Amino acid sequence: MKIVIVDDDMLVAGALKTILEAGEDVTVVGTGQDGSEAFALYRKHLPDVLLMDIRMRHVSGLDAAKQIVEEYPEAKILLLTTFADDEYIVKALKYGVKGYLLKQDYQSILPAIRAVCTGQTVFGTEIVSKIPQLLQEKKTFDWGAYEISPKELKVISLVAEGLSNKEIAGELFLSEGTVRNYISNILEKMGLRDRTQLAVYYLKAIR
């Protein structure tokens, strides 16, 4: 896997590079210190995963993520930050990032990158604990207009929490194949491309 790291703290970037390259399948092809560098590095290397801080000088990680995903819709961006701020979490999902971890979850970084690389969305344990509160604030959206059943809505909410198909299957006592079918049907009904778009749509609908 080719990885680009962007963090305005050079010591943190160096430590992340060391942690990641302990994995035999990981190569850090570039490092940067702000969002503008992130865009240039992404364009140059087209990495499998871009690992990026949020709060940086000049251009923030969120602004860089938005710009990159607009030009490269398939970009896999994992935000790594010290801030579990509700607004950051919602914006990260809205902009199409694939994961949001706190830097304190350092043991989860390499597994998270591998998961994001395979197309999953990943959120750290503290982030996951906050997402349900965001999801439960308002539920006035008319899901019936899309013929979304109560069970499908539950699947959507779990996707928005960042759960994998296996985890959703365990939560709802279904097979993974059934969960895949649910998600495929939901995406078709709503005219969406993937589970990340589905999570974003859900979060926007209930806010």
Q: Which residue segments constitute the domains of the chain, with CATH numbers given?
A: 2-125 (3.40.50.2300), 136-206 (1.10.10.10)
Question: For position 134, what pLDDT does the model report?
Answer: 55
Q: What does the alpha-carbon distance between residue 143 and residue 190 come to, in Å, rounded to a whole number?
A: 10
Contacts within 8 Å (CB) and 24+ apart, 197-204: 197/96, 198/156, 198/159, 198/160, 199/93, 199/121, 199/159, 199/160, 199/162, 200/93, 200/94, 200/96, 202/135, 202/156, 202/157, 202/159, 202/160, 203/90, 203/93, 203/94, 203/134, 203/135, 203/160, 204/94
Q: pLDDT for 132-160, tens place per residue?
A: 555 555 445 677 778 899 899 999 999 99
In this structure, the strands spanning 49-52 and 27-32 are unpaired
Task: Please provide the average confidence, as pLDDT, over all residues in the chain.
Answer: 85
Question: For position 138, what pLDDT does the model report?
Answer: 47
Q: Residue 169 — pLDDT band, cuts 50, 70, 90? A: very high
Burial 78-101 (b: 16+ CB within 10 A, else e): bbbbeebeeebbbbbbbbbbbbbb
Strand partners, 78: 51, 99
Please check the confidence at residue 39 and state whether its pLDDT lies above 50: yes
Q: What does the alpha-carbon distance between residue 124 and residue 190 come to, in Å, rounded to a whole number?
A: 28
Average pLDDT over residues 175-184: 95
Q: pLDDT for 78-100, tens place per residue?
A: 988 776 666 677 777 778 888 88
How many percent of the chain have pLDDT more than 90? Answer: 39
Contacts within 8 Å (CB) and 24+ apart, 100-106: 100/124, 100/127, 101/127, 102/126, 102/127, 103/12, 106/19
Largest distance between two CA atoms of the chain: 51
How many percent of the chain have pLDDT more than 70? Answer: 87
